[in-house]
Amino acid sequence: GAGVSQSPSNKVTEKGKDVELRCDPISGHTALYWYRQSLGQGLEFLIYFQGNSAPDKSGLPSDRFSAERTGGSVSTLTIQRTQQEDSAVYLCASSFDRGGETQYFGPGTRLLVL
Amino acid sequence: GESVGLHLPTLSVQEGDNSIINCAYSNSASDYFIWYKQESGKGPQFIIDIRSNMDKRQGQRVTVLLNKTVKHLSLQIAATQPGDSAVYFCAESLPGNTGKLIFGQGTTLQVKP
The DSSP line for B31-96 is: -EEEEEEE-TTS--EEEEEEETT-SEEE-SSEEEEEETTTTEEEEEESS--GGG-EEEEEEEE-TT
Between A and B, how many CB-CB pairs are < 8 A? 69
Residue B3 pLDDT > 70: no
* Dihedral pair phi/psi, residue A86, rounded to 5°: -80, -10
pLDDT at B94: 80
Residue B25's pLDDT band, with cuts at 50, 70 and 90, is: confident
CB-CB under 8 Å, A97 with B49: no
Banded model confidence at residue B5, pLDDT cuts 50, 70, 90: low
Say yes or no to pLDDT of B4 above 70.
no
**Are the beta carbons of B15 and B110 closer than 8 angstroms?**
no
Determine whether the interchain pair B105/A41 forms a contact, defined as Cβ–Cβ distance below 8 Å: yes
Distances (CA, A) of A16 to A19, A33, A43, A68, B94: 10, 25, 24, 21, 37
Q: Is A95 on the interface with B (CB under 8 A)?
A: yes
Chain A residues closer than 8 Å to B43 by CB: 4, 91, 105-108
For the cut 60, the answer to whether the pLDDT of residue B71 exceeds it is yes
Cβ atoms within 10 Å of B19's Cβ, excluding its own: 21
Residue A39 forms contact with B (CB below 8 Å): no
One digit per residue, the tens of pLDDT, for chain A of length 114 reads: 589 999 999 999 999 999 999 999 999 898 999 999 988 778 999 999 988 888 899 999 999 999 999 887 999 999 999 999 999 999 999 998 765 578 999 999 999 999
User: What pLDDT is stored for residue A52 in this prediction?
Assistant: 80
> Is A85 in a helix, a strand, or coil?
helix
A105 touches chain B (CB under 8 A): yes
Q: Which of A42, A48, A108 sits opposite B103 (nearest CB)?
A: A42
Query: In whole numbers, what is the pLDDT of chain B averaged over residues?
Result: 89
Chain A residue with the nearest C-alpha to that of B35: A102
CA–CA dist B107, A78 (Å, integer): 31
Residues of chain B with C-beta less than 8 angstroms from the C-beta of A101: 99
User: CB atoms < 10 A from the CB of B18, how many?
Assistant: 12
* CA A105 – CA A3 distance, rounded (Å): 8
